[in-house]
Amino acid sequence: MARVSRDVPIIYSAPMVRALIEGRKTMTRRLPNRDKRGPGRSWQLVKPGDRLWVRENFSGPYTCGYGRIPASRQDDWPVWYWADGNPNDGDWEKPRPSIHMPRWASRLTLAVTAVKVERLQAISLEDVRAEGCEVRQMWLLGADAEQRRTIAANVFMDLWSDLHGYESWNANPEVVAVSFRVIKANIDSEEARAA
């Protein structure tokens, strides 16, 4: 029996949303059982062919009604994505946390292309760049392959530690590395379904 692909929400910070939009981020590392709502939400269950819909900080001109908006009205419902910066006009409220973003308001879909499990500190130079981190060429001048990997891992360590703490980096946990293709459209759009 063929495996049915799944649609899974994924939370991103504003800098990582911008990296997705700019095409600099095509990979993410997640702790296998980070979600405490049950084993069915483990990142180890994500497979190629699955789709991730990005949740990010957002708001709208009204203080209520973000739950179920009828499909016929969703295109008319304005949403401000705070990764785009502070709005200059309009009656925008403070940002709503990404965890509360409904599926219909998401603007980015990630089509999973590969998944691997490895130790956090085993990250390669190529994977650090795919994570959206900048590793300047001048930092790598004169370094051998292992030194280049170590330099890149140190760059990623800063990002990981900001999110999970230095203790997590030092513990070197097993992580799920998910590679994907970014589709700049809602998961339920024709464009995302065709991809």
Cα 25 to Cα 129: distance, rounded to the nearest angstrom:
8
In this structure, the number of other CB atoms found within 10 A of the CB of residue 101 comes to 22
**Rg of the Cα atoms in the chain:** 18
The one-letter amino acid code at 134 reads E
Q: Residue 189 pLDDT more than 50?
A: yes
Element (H, E) at 22: helix 14-22
Sign of CA dihedral 156, 30, 28, 60: negative
- Among 59-68, 150-159, 185-194, the range scoring the smallest mean pLDDT is 59-68
More confidently predicted of 96 and 117: 117
Q: Residue 188 pLDDT more than 70?
A: yes
Kindly state the average pLDDT of the residues 41-70.
Answer: 78
Kindly state the average pLDDT of the residues 118-142.
Answer: 93
Per-residue burial over 39-64, b if 16 or more Cβ lie within 10 Å, else e, is eeeebeebeeebbbbbbbbbbbeeee
Whole-structure pTM value? 0.86
- What is the 3-state composition of the chain as percent helix, strand, coil, each rounded to the nearest 5? 35, 20, 40
Kindly state the average pLDDT of the residues 77-90.
Answer: 81
Sign of CA dihedral 113, 3, 50, 11: negative
What pLDDT sits at residue 88? 74
Instruction: Please tell me the class of the 7-56+106-194 domain.
Output: mainly beta
Q: Residue 80 pLDDT more than 60?
A: yes
Alpha-helical regions (H) of 40-188: 71-74, 125-130, 137-140, 145-164, 166-171
- pLDDT interval class at 73 (50, 70, 90): low
The one-letter amino acid code at 56 reads E
CA angle 11, 14, 18 (to 5 degrees): 105
Pairing of strands 7-11, 51-55: parallel
Cα 122 to Cα 124: distance, rounded to the nearest angstrom:
6
